[in-house]
């Protein structure tokens, strides 16, 4: 009688240990997410979360992506996003600064250590800016009421304000540390992704309950949203799995006195090589004007105050301009980030070192140029798809009733769905690899 692959997961001591460590660290993270920032004003937070306008929608979107930490304004309200933003910034700087590019090429191991060290260092100021910006944005959305008591950078408010910012930075660093522990001792290379995934999934039951609270339309709205979710998940998996196989001819090898025949293989190029990074980067850029404008919403000069409020409204989650800018920037960043990653991999030089060649294409630089052209061509549908998924909540918000927008629409957040689908797919792939490494028969995995 064949044993089930899932049963073997639990019987294998090493895999069981990794899974238990992962679950334990995720539980610790979820428990820590209930620790509030000192001096929180619960009434203002409740009013903002129950708001039906653009302010409430933006607040609830951030709350979904943070796993409910924003609605409690806990020390983990920023999640691990400052770390991801710092990582993206450093990756984009590598091709721009020649010294960094040489460092990464000459000694990849030392280059990775350098990247990890400076990503953590850069995370601290990024988290501080994000904390101040987040507080100021929420204060501007509440019409001047502060979500934190005694918040300010002068007089008696200075010390409590610094305590708030330091606690939020510490929460972000704690989340990053837990993610690194998961990657090291739990499921490999999935720590930060699983932390974000756990936060998003934890909010789904409450959103479904909120949707069903509408006695007149709740059931059919839930059915419509679940159908839409299934279609979007299918489309995401289909596009994420999309490949263009470029034929490659590897030279034959000498085996004693004989020479083996050349080997024909394929180089798979991904339709969406950038993943969800363009979405995060576009969101970070688009929230920057609102963060800057939030500092001037209480200005004494009337035109400055009105201009700042106008910028905040323009870059609100329900604004047409926000949706348009978001779509354009996601498409642009998809092409840009894919070009950066593709250039770093340098397929032309690597294939030349192996003696491999694409039929009809000269080795070296011409091969890299040809592959870059192919990659850009297949990136176009992937970039347009990412842009469409990014603005899908806005488009559906025009079609679905208010109850759906408030209770269930944010379940189909672009970044949220891409994270959930991507993490589940990658986690199953890693677990399958672990099963193979521990001697489990591949034929039984399918059973």
Domains and CATH numbers, the chain: 1-212 (1.10.3370.10), 215-253+260-412 (1.10.3370.10)
- What pLDDT is recorded for position 318? 60
- What pLDDT is recorded for position 115? 87
Tens digits of residue pLDDT in 340-377: 888 877 888 888 888 888 888 888 888 888 999 999 99
Tens digits of residue pLDDT in 34-50: 888 888 877 777 777 66
Tens digits of residue pLDDT in 375-385: 999 999 989 98
- What pLDDT is recorded for position 355? 81
Label residues 365-403 b or e (16+ Cβ within 10 Å = b): eebbebbbeebeebbeebbebbbbbbbbbbebbeebeeb
CB 24, CB 187: distance < 8 Å: no
Tens digits of residue pLDDT in 218-258: 677 777 777 877 887 888 888 888 888 888 888 766 666 66
Flag whether the pTM goes above 0.95.
no
Q: How buried is residue 300: exposed, middle or buried, by Cβ count under 10 Å (0-12/13-18/19+)?
A: exposed
Tens digits of residue pLDDT in 80-103: 888 888 888 887 787 788 888 787
Tens digits of residue pLDDT in 262-291: 778 888 888 888 877 787 778 767 776 766
DSSP 294-323: HTTTT-SSHHHHHHHHHHHHHTSTT-HHHH
CB 297, CB 309: distance < 8 Å: yes
Q: Is the pLDDT of residue 422 over 60?
A: yes
Confidence band (pLDDT; 50, 70, 90) for 105? confident
CB 222, CB 205: distance < 8 Å: no
pLDDT: is 399 or 176 the higher one?
176
């Amino acid at each position: 009688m064949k044993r089930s692959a899932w049963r073997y997961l639990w019987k294998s001591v090493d895999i069981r240990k990794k899974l238990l460590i992962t679950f334990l660290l995720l539980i610790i993270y979820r428990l820590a997410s209930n620790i509030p920032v000192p001096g929180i004003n619960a009434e203002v937070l409740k009013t903002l979360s129950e708001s039906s306008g653009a302010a409430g929608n933006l607040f609830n979107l951030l709350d979904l992506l943070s796993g409910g930490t924003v609605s409690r304004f806990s020390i983990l309200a920023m999640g691990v996003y400052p770390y991801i933003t710092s990582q993206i910034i450093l990756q984009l700087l590598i091709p721009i600064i020649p010294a960094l590019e040489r460092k990464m090429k000459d000694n990849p191991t030392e280059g990775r250590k350098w990247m990890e060290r400076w990503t953590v260092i850069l995370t601290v100021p990024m988290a501080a800016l994000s904390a101040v910006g987040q507080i100021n944005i929420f204060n501007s959305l509440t019409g001047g009421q502060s979500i934190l008591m005694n918040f300010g950078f002068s007089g008696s408010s200075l010390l409590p304000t610094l305590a708030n910012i330091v606690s939020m930075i510490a929460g972000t660093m704690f989340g990053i540390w837990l993610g690194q522990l998961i990657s090291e001792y739990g499921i490999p290379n999935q720590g930060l992704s699983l932390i974000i995934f756990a936060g998003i999934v934890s909010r789904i039951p409450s959103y479904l309950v909120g949707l069903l609270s509408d006695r007149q339309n709740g059931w059919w709205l839930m059915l419509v949203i679940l159908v839409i979710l299934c279609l979007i998940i299918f489309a995401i998996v289909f596009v994420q799995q999309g490949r263009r196989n470029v034929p490659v001819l590897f030279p034959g090898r000498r085996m004693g006195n004989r020479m083996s025949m050349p080997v024909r293989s394929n180089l798979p190029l991904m339709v969406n090589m950038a993943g969800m990074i363009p979405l995060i980067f576009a969101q970070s850029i688009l929230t920057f004007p609102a963060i800057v404008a939030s500092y001037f919403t209480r200005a004494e000069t009337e035109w400055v105050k009105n201009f700042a409020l106008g910028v905040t409204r323009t870059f609100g989650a329900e604004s047409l301009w926000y949706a348009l800018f978001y779509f354009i920037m996601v498409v642009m960043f998809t092409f840009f980030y894919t070009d950066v990653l593709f250039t770093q991999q340098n397929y032309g030089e690597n294939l030349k070192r192996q003696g491999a060649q694409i039929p009809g294409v000269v080795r070296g630089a011409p091969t890299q140029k040809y592959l870059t052209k192919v990659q850009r061509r297949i990136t176009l549908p992937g970039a347009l798809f990412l842009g469409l998924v990014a603005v899908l909540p806005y488009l559906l918000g025009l079609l679905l009733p208010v109850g759906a927008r408030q209770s269930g629409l944010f379940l189909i957040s672009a970044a949220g769905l891409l994270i959930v689908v991507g993490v589940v797919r990658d986690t199953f792939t890693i677990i399958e690899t672990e099963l193979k490494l521990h001697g489990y028969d591949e034929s039984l995995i399918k059973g």
